[in-house]
A = this chain, B = another copy of it.
Amino acid sequence: MLDRKIFFYIPSTFKLNNKIAFNMKKSVTIKDIAKELNVSIATVSRALRNSSEISKETKKAVLKLAKEMDYHPNLVARSLINKSSRVLGVVVPTINRQFWSNSISGIENEAYKVGYKVMIFQSAESYQKEVEIVEILANSMVDGILIAFSKETQDFAHVQHVVDRGIPVLLFERVSEFLQLSKVVTDDFLGAKTIVNHLIERGKNRIAYIGGPLSLTVCMDRFLGYKSALLENKIPFDEKLAIEISDFNVEYAGRAFKELWESGNRPDAVFCFADVLALGVLAVSKELKIKIPFELAIAGFGNDEIAKYVSPSLTTMDQPSFQIGQLAAKLILEQINSEEKDDFLFKTEIIKPVLVIREST
């Protein structure tokens, strides 16, 4: 079957056509259709917006003609007059990592339900670009801005500034304690604790920890969550089972786990800091022919690119990152809607990013 002749084969990409065509059209407005129908533009406007103060007949006539003339409402003009564009602006460091693209999907998902659109920008971890973006968004009449700060960002004046201009802003994941705003973040301590408890409940008591450098807050939080779970369950902490590796690297994690396994002091479960590390452990497990999950259970945080390879059944919506997005959108929409009422209370929502990767049954 693989032995077909190729001489007369035309790759599909070559079948595409190159043609010319171009036409500049001015779009039809309510004015046009009003003139055509000999009514006022106010009447047309009312008919199109399904207003109550209009007769059935004129409404029908307007709608009919609008369709015939191929009328489309200009959302920009509508924004200007309504002082609302029904658009949320989102600023993330990059959309190239699953965590952020998932978050955005969550935001979009929630926004879409109530007819909101989402405008996405990437700061590319650049403070300067972030400042520019926030300025653009603020000047574009978006109804709200959701920001995850770039790594460079130390000064938050640009955000405080748009807040002072009365624009709803929400921070997620990469937040600042200096800004009094609604925030959505993951709770690393509680998340880790929950995961480890999960393993303990399933009868594991020699649970290894493999994580990144403890100098990072996120690592320390997760490590202490791990310890806390052991403590509460009266499982002694075994220093030899806890490994701190210097970087989030598949190879390092694999090597560390290999040494651990071959040391004889074998764990019955591994709590991995992130699924990049889990992948390393999984790879070595395969190499060593360890049965997952029966001989060894692997669980950890799953907010990374690799998750779906490790756990193919995982859908986007299962990801904590997606839920962060959803919650973030929900919160800012709440704030936007309460703007008139002038009684909004900022909230900080904390997500437990539990994602069990391969647990034993």
Residues of A in contact with B (beta carbons under 8 Å apart): 1-4, 6, 9, 11-27, 70, 72-77, 79-80, 85, 94-96, 98, 101-102, 104-105, 108, 117-122, 135-136, 138-141, 164-166, 175, 177, 180, 183, 185-190, 214, 217-218, 220-221, 223-225, 227-228, 231, 237, 239, 242, 244, 250, 276, 279, 283, 286-287, 305-306, 308-309, 316, 339, 342-348, 350
B227 touches A186 (CB 8 A): no
A342 touches B136 (CB 8 A): no
Sample 5 A-B pairs with CB under 8 A, ordered by A number: A3-B239, A13-B186, A120-B120, A279-B309, A305-B309
User: Which of A135, A276, A286 has the largest number of chain B CB atoms within 10 A?
Assistant: A286
Q: Which 7 A-B pairs have the closest CB atoms?
A: A11-B189, A25-B166, A19-B180, A120-B120, A16-B348, A95-B101, A2-B242
A24 touches B339 (CB 8 A): yes
A74/B141 contact (C-beta < 8 A), A122-B105, A242-B2 known? yes
The interface residues of chain B lying within 8 Å CB-to-CB of A96 are 98, 101-102, 105, 316
A348 touches B18 (CB 8 A): yes
A19 to B178, CA, bound (A): 11
The smallest beta-carbon distance between A103 and chain B, in angstroms, is 10
**Interface residue SS majority, chain A:** mixed
The smallest beta-carbon distance between A129 and chain B, in angstroms, is 8
B165 touches A72 (CB 8 A): yes
Closest to A282 in B: B283
The smallest beta-carbon distance between A334 and chain B, in angstroms, is 12
